Amino acid sequence: MLLRQAHTARGRRGSAIVEAALSLTVFCLLLFGVFEYCRYLFVLHVTDLAAREAVRYASVNTDKPSDFDVNNYKAYKNIIAYTKDRLAGADKQIVGYTATVFPVDSTALTQTPPVVQAKTGFGVAGSGVYWNTASFPDRLAVKITGTFKPFLPSLTQMPTLPVNVVALSGVEG
């Protein structure tokens, strides 16, 4: 009987390695999936903070020229460059990254649910509607859009995820 048990144990010698390889494969896939999702949440959080800081920066710089959102003015950084600095490299993980600053249509904010959209005429040459023409009761917005690209998309089967962040701030004067 002792011989029989030893013979059975010798026949199952490689099964532990096979079971470990299968379970480690599933575990690693789940682990990498969790890491990718955490990276997405991190990029989303950094983008949200960058948009909030940029709209605050825009709201206190409404005295600058209308092209201040893309061109530097004296010692001040323009708003798009300021936003990119606040992203601190997270913009490299967002494919098709764009940042825009615009005055918000106040009537669209009163809808249910509120809609953040630019004032009519914004972006139209000669319309006179620029982000820095907003005055005290008006609101400004910075919108950051793009697509998060996973580091290992084929391994984790994680799709590309949208990044759409909008931050609002009241104009200070």
Rounded CA-CA distance 109/170 in Å is 13
**Could you tell me the pTM of the whole model?**
0.79
- Helix, strand or coil, per DSSP, at residue 171: coil
Per the listing, tokens 């949208």 go with 162
* Site of tokens 């999702």: 37
Distance, CA of 142 to CA of 52 (rounded, Å)? 8
Determine the distance from the C-alpha atom of residue 104 to the mean position of all C-alpha atoms in its chain, rounded to a whole number: 21
Q: Encode pLDDT of 6-45 as tens digits.
A: 555 566 677 888 888 889 988 988 888 888 889 999 999 9
Q: Per residue in 47-56, pLDDT tens?
A: 999 999 999 9
Neighbours of 44 (CB within 10 A): 17
pLDDT score for 117: 87
